[in-house]
Structure 1
Amino acid sequence: MVMKKLLILHLFLYCLAGNTIAQKRYLPKIESCNCRFLMDSSFVKTAPASLKLSFSTPFEKIDSSFKTRCGYLIVPENRSKKSSRMIKLPFIIVESKNPDKRKDPLLFTAGGPGGSSLSWAIGATKNEIIKDRDCIAFEQRGTRYALPHLRAFDLDLAIKDSYLKNLNKDSMVLVGLKKYKQTLEAKGIDLSGYNTDETVSDIHDLLNVLKIDSVNLYGASYSGGLMTAVLQKDPTRIRSLVLDSPLPIFTPIDEDEPVNFNEALNVLFRHVEQDSTNRQLYGNLKQRFLDYFNGIASKTFYQPYLEKGTSDSVKIAYTKNELLAEIMNAMSNNIRRKEVPFMLTEMIRGHHQVYIQTFLDDLFRKNQAPDGMRISAYCADQSTYHSEDVVRQIYSIYPYLTGYRINDVIKGMCDCWKVPPVKATTKEPYYSLKPILLGDGEMDPNCRPIYIQRINHYMPNGQSFLFINRGHGVGGKDWNDMVIQFLNHPYKRVSPPNEGIIRI
């Protein structure tokens, strides 16, 4: 019996040692380059001609008056596997010209998940932020300029086929997704290595290798939640957070987003009711919208469409879902949003053609299927923690939304993609006294302002601001002015530059 206990203890210690060794088996490295990052050759070679891609990037053209440092962070593709291959993640450091610059740089990474971050470095050279501190743009694993880039076009082709041949769209998505997965895995890509937990470790590895002991994190949308996860993993070097329209890591977005869209429309309807002088055109618009879209919930329409480069038009089937998608696209655009009330009146009158034409043009010309990084990260972050029962409850309350999926990555896709979930602790909210600046637009149809209030609840040294008549991604000069105020004095009360920005 004693020998058995000793054996168990020995095995336990061996496994513990093994885990420790596994955690220390790599040292992140930096490979310097001249900012002319080489794009993933397999992606460039297989991309449609319409994308007009080249193998290199234009970031060497950053304003030459600034000193820049570019390189690749080299880390394992999957830290949980001892035999994992290494991948290369680009970054750009733009140095402030100020001889008395502050020693805490600002690190930015894009939202999505799946957005590219590097072009932000070009914008940073034209921003007042660079006057006080260095700026770092970091490309997340699997995204556009990372090696590898998780992108193939099997899903795009399947979605296009579903429209051209009027096939079941959900079925065709799964057909394309299976081919997509096979294409990526044939390149040796380990899809389970592309998630928020790994990206959090990437950012900390970058800070370690660059020997940065104090940093400010800047994230938007998905990367807003990502940055709070970076803070959670190791808060010691994190000075502050700046989050624009953040998606909290603890939020089940597929359950929320239909309601987010509905709430944003309600804000728009309220403005129309208060501000419009054309009562004949815009009076009672909300009820007319609901009556119409509930009335066409089960209808199928048809529109002739001539794809560019072809000579014969085809009759394409569409439903209220394509119309809602165009409304969503306009609501997400700060310039197009003012067109939405008229767009709704036209749709209610049955004038769909121009909007469906735009939808189909975008579908066939822009290859809009999600990157593999977006699919993997969303599936790892959301699928295990997602409930279809909640979605059905939403549809029962808002019938016009039934069957309309805003996100381009849904649970059925994740069941096929089969990647493990992020750690349960990553999904849990936590408390922190770190200073945080939060902003969101009142008509954001993706991440509602309640999200910045929820983050602020857990981070009481946060300051939250609502931008009137703005949507997802407030950005702009006003926001930049507030960011500079905050970064220079993160515990001091930020003063918004105009009355259209309200502290909440």
Structure 2
Amino acid sequence: MIRNNLAKLLILGAVMTIATAAHAADAKRPVPRFEKAECAVQVVPGERIECGFLYVPENRRKARSRTISLPVMIFRSTGAAPAADPVVYLPGGPGLSSIDGRTTGKGNPFLMERDQILLEGRGNKFARPSLACPDINVLRAQNAAHAMQTAAVARCRAALVASGVDLDGYTSAEAADDLDDLRRLLGIRQWNLIGFSYGTRLAQTVLQRHPEGVRSVVLDSVLPIDVDYEETAASSLRRAIDALLAGCANDPDCDTRYPDLRARFAKLVADADRTGVAAPDRVLRGRDVVDAVGAGLQQPAVIPALPRIISEAAEGRLTGLLPLTRQAPSSFNWGLRLSIWCDEEMPFETASRMASQTSPALGLGGVDNRTATPAMCAAWRVSPADAMANEPVKSDVPVLILAGEFDPVTPPAWGCRLLRTMPNARFVQIPGQSHGAMFNRCGGQVTLAFLHDPAAPLSGDCIAKLPGTVFVLDTGTAAQP
């Protein structure tokens, strides 16, 4: 009996020691808080825009993590009786700012019924710290050699770590927790999430970790959590190009005006690889031609002119193609982009499948649409995510999934993929649209109707009235981006 009591006392002591240590660790960890403040970006005077900062731990998995600050903008509704559930927009990337350029609420259709809240993602442009790596932006725009890009990755990492940044703290899971901390601190029971591109992945992570705070979700141009992006990066572009070429071939007028367009496109890319296509300021190779067509596929206004642009380029006339080849450096915050990608994507990718995406067999001139290479992630050196970061999300929350017919980045099939684990999700494909299916009149109407009542049947009237892609057949100046 004495031995049993002694054992119980030892166990109790150990439990109390663990509990005390856990309590001490919690006491040292920064407590999330929201403070009102001036807006981090200049806004139009006189509008009902409230701003502040969310203060959160840089890495919730560490007891002694420092505090970081994330700007918040609240655009108040113009409605007489706004709904209690605001809408939160989650931008693409990863690495695009939520608040850059958000100077006014005028023309914002969401504000007719509810407030809109924007939280600058951790590590982004106006967050402190910001994980900017401007040298990488320039090198990516130049299609610089991988060795040069990897060296720039190593330099940026060294500079950020030397400044005290904990790169392991910049993940989708931490960003999802930031959002839920903000929701609770603002006293909001539930809100609506609108995710675009990478923002759809972040929205899925919120559903995975904090479903109780979400009333509904709109996912535009879906990146499913369980898709290994780098294994399909160029294949998605190939699908979109094939859809364009098939669309022209199946249109009697387009096919008559631009016959054998598929074969002519293949020959254009092959010839560019073999001898180059002379342009005023450089020689275009196959990947340059494909990159240009891919850029056009991301611009719905340009898509109808792409058959003509390809046909003219095949005849040596580059008037329409050249504007699409001029790529300015992106505004991606590359430090954040690498931390998320190398933590959540790269650990689950297969090297041989990633390498196949630059194969000449795809007929894309070896174009490289991967976000990062294994060498870049090896230089960035962040801890890999656990298996949950690569598992499909199961959720009963009402979800609207939007996809563009010609999306070269996130194909419509990826949106359909979510229907397997989201029983209350509905899928809508917008004809003639691309990456960002919501950013047009019909997509906007469908989105607003869903937010008004996520349980109501969706009307397909505006989609039924769309004429589809009407290809440009005249011989005038091609549509410009």
Please tell me the TM-score bracket, short chain as reference: 0.7 to 0.9
What is aligned with 2:37? 33
What is aligned with 1:229? 205
What is aligned with 1:253? 229
What is aligned with 2:60? 79
- Matching of residue 327 in structure 1 with residue 310 in structure 2: no
What is aligned with 1:93? 74
- Deviation, 1:318, is 5.5
- Matching of residue 496 in structure 1 with residue 460 in structure 2: yes
Q: Which amino acid aligns with 2:343?
A: A
Q: CA RMSD in A?
A: 3.2
Cα distance in 1 for residues equivalent to 2:119 and 2:225: 19
Can you give the 5+ residue segments of structure 2 that lack an aligned partner in the other structure?
468-481
Q: Which amino acid aligns with 1:470?
A: Q
What is aligned with 1:50? none
- Deviation, 1:257, is 2.1
Distance 1:429 1:18, change over 3 A: farther
TM-score (norm. length: structure 2): 0.86
Per-residue CA distance 1:362-403 (angstroms, 9 max, x = gap): 35xx46675211121122121101112223455669432464
Per-residue CA distance 1:146-169 (angstroms, 9 max, x = gap): 122211333345568x77xxxx71
What is aligned with 2:158? 182
Cα distance in 2 for residues equivalent to 1:491 and 1:397: 47
- Matching of residue 486 in structure 1 with residue 474 in structure 2: no
Q: 1:455 aligned to 418, 431, 449, which one? A: 418
Cα distance in 2 for residues equivalent to 1:213 and 1:368: 34
Q: 2:302 aligned to 330, 336, 339, which one? A: 336
- Deviation, 1:288, is 2.5
Instruction: Identify the range of structure 1 (350-359 vs 327-336) with the bigger mean alpha-carbon deviation.
Output: 350-359
What is aligned with 1:61? 44
- Deviation, 1:296, is 5.0
Distance 1:294 1:358, change over 3 A: closer
What is aligned with 1:41? none
Maintained 8 Å contact 2:90/2:98: yes
- Deviation, 1:414, is 1.0
Distance 1:300 1:386, change over 3 A: farther
Show the 5 A alignment for 1:222-371. 222-275=198-251, 277=253, 279=255, 282-294=258-270, 296-297=272-273, 305=281, 319-350=285-316, 355=321, 359=325, 361-363=326-328, 366=329, 371=334
What is aligned with 2:431? 468
- Deviation, 1:279, is 4.5
Maintained 8 Å contact 1:272/1:341: yes
Q: 1:399 aligned to 362, 367, 370, which one? A: 362
- Deviation, 1:198, is 1.0
What is aligned with 1:207? 183
Cα distance in 2 for residues equivalent to 1:142 and 1:119: 14
Maintained 8 Å contact 2:137/2:334: no
Distance 1:152 1:258, change over 3 A: closer
- Deviation, 1:105, is 1.0
What is aligned with 1:136? 117
Distance 1:157 1:399, change over 3 A: closer
- Deviation, 1:463, is 1.3
- Deviation, 1:470, is 0.4
Maintained 8 Å contact 2:90/2:202: no
Per-residue CA distance 1:390-428 (angstroms, 9 max, x = gap): 234556694324642113433321111111223321321
Show the 5 A alignment for 1:141-152. 141-152=122-133
What is aligned with 1:372? 335
What is aligned with 1:309? none
Maintained 8 Å contact 2:30/2:67: no
Per-residue CA distance 1:92-144 (angstroms, 9 max, x = gap): 11122334221111111211111111258556542332122111111111112
- Matching of residue 440 in structure 1 with residue 403 in structure 2: yes
Distance 1:89 1:293, change over 3 A: same
Instruction: Identify the range of structure 1 (112-121 vs 248-257) with the bigger mean alpha-carbon deviation.
Output: 112-121
What is aligned with 1:109? 90
SS in 2 for 1:212: coil
- Deviation, 1:172, is 1.2
TM-score (norm. length: structure 1): 0.82
SS in 2 for 1:362: coil
